[in-house]
Structure 1
Amino acid sequence: MMYFALILFASFVACISATAAPAGFCSGKADGDYKHPNNCGEHIKCSNGMASVFDCPVNLVWDDNLKRCEFSSTDDPSCNTPLPFSCVGRPDGNYAYPGDCTKFYMCSNQIKWAMDCPAPTHFNPTLKVCDYQMDANCVL
């Protein structure tokens, strides 16, 4: 049971974004999920006035009408056009490469590097490493 709880906790933590919410975002707002004002692929959960930013899975955007991540947004058409990946404002680390499970982006000092996973591995967006295809959970 303890093993299951650790996996569940690790899965939850993997969805939390490294991006901070705008200062005071949840002030005066009811508890719930809200569209991130600066990033279509993130949403902000307000709870007791505290903000937590969450990432949508790769290639999905937040739909504020449906209050979930979707392939397209019904409330903001500008979110339906994929923007080029940028490392500006992102912490150093590995990120999924949209449309190709065998590649990933590595951000270092806000510089983007396109990297290949060694064959036959795929990029695992949860672990942020190349992994066996069956374990990578890559979604195009």
Structure 2
Amino acid sequence: MGSKHVFVVAVIYSLCAVAVASNPCVSTCAGRPTGDYQSRNGCNVYATCVNGYICDNRPCVAGTVWDDTLKRCEMTSTTCPPNPCVTSCNGLVSGDYQSCNGCNVYVTCNAGHLIDNRPCPSTLVWDDSLRACARTSSTCS
């Protein structure tokens, strides 16, 4: 596994731990009963555990997000908020994240230090699922 892949997995796992503090994300099914769980890969997918094996990135129907309390995809989620903005870098790996100050800016965490209000180009907005500025955003409105 390359260092870039490890970094991406670490970023996603860190975000999931922040977004779903009361319902930890599943990265392995070892010791878990068969069932559906919050994925470490985002709010619009979920993971299924069967006999200790994981099937991750199972998509929710367009426009819905996984709610781990209800164990199904819904229009809103109490366990995976649709706007996972960052106000602190505590517990996050270095990288770029969604700012709480608007969709046209983002946050960079660097060794625990927060750099906020980093601008997207004028015609773009931050999309946290892409970890980049894009024409449209599924995570910021």
Indicate if the aligned counterparts of 1:45 and 1:53 stay in contact, CA closer than 8 A.
yes
Matched, 1:18 2:13: yes
Matches within 5 A, 1:55-70: 62-68=67-73, 70=75
Once residues 139 and 74 of structure 2 are traced to their aligned partners in structure 1, the CA distance between those partners, rounded to angstroms, is 16
RMSD (Å), alpha carbons? 4.4
1:45-95 CA distance string (max 9 Å, x none): 3534356998xxxxx78442142365342xx7xx8xx88632111111111
2:37 matched residue in structure 1:
33
1:89-125 CA distance string (max 9 Å, x none): 1111111224621011111112111112131221132
Q: Which runs of 5+ in 2 are unaligned?
A: 1-7, 18-24, 58-64
Matched, 1:119 2:122: yes
Amino acid at match of 1:139: C
Q: Which runs of 5+ in 1 are unaligned?
A: 1-12, 55-59
Amino acid at match of 1:32: D
1:93 matched residue in structure 2:
95
Amino acid at match of 2:95: G
Tell me the TM-score normalized by structure 2.
0.50
Indicate if the aligned counterparts of 1:102 and 1:116 stay in contact, CA closer than 8 A.
yes
Amino acid at match of 1:93: G
Tell me the TM-score normalized by structure 1.
0.50
* Matched residue count: 110
Deviates more, 1:119-128 or 1:105-114: 119-128
| Matched-pair identity in % | 16
Amino acid at match of 1:71: T
1:3 matched residue in structure 2:
none
